[in-house]
Amino acid sequence: MTVEQILFLLAGAVILVSAFLVVTVRKLMHAALWLVVTLFGVAVLYALLQANFLAVVQLVVYIGAIAILFIFAVMLTRKEMRDLGPQTRSNWWVAVLVGAAVLMGLVFVVLAIPGVERTAQVLPEGLDTVQALGVALVSPNAYVLPFEVASVLLLAALIGAVYLAGIIKK
pLDDT in tens, 78-91: 555 555 666 667 78
Pair 75, 27: CB distance under 8 Å: no
**What is the pLDDT, as a whole number, of residue 28?**
79
pLDDT confidence band for 65 (50 / 70 / 90): confident
| Residue type at position 5 | Q
Q: Which residues contact 22 (CB under 8 A, 6 or more apart)?
A: 31, 34, 35, 38
How does the average pLDDT of the chain come out, rounded? 84
pTM of the shown model: 0.62
**pLDDT reading at 130 higher than 90:** no
pLDDT in tens, 97-111: 999 999 999 999 988
Mean pLDDT, residues 63-74 taken together: 78
**What is the pLDDT, as a whole number, of residue 140?**
84
**What is the pLDDT, as a whole number, of residue 73?**
74
**pLDDT reading at 51 higher than 80:** yes
HSE-up of residue 9 (Cα within 13 Å, Cβ side): 5
**pLDDT reading at 71 higher than 60:** yes
**What is the pLDDT, as a whole number, of residue 170?**
63
Query: Which ranges constitute the DSSP H helices of 25-120?
Result: 28-48, 52-57, 68-76, 92-112
Q: Which residues contact 35 (CB under 8 A, 6 or more apart)?
A: 18, 22, 67, 70
pLDDT in tens, 4-43: 889 999 999 999 999 999 988 888 788 888 999 999 999 9
Question: Smallest Cα–Cα separation from 53: which of 151, 117, 137?
Answer: 137
DSSP line for 98-146: HHHHHHHHHHHHHHHSTTTTPPPPPPPTT--HHHHHHHHHH-TTTTHHH
Q: How far apart are CA 168 and CA 160, in angstroms?
A: 12
Pair 29, 71: CB distance under 8 Å: yes
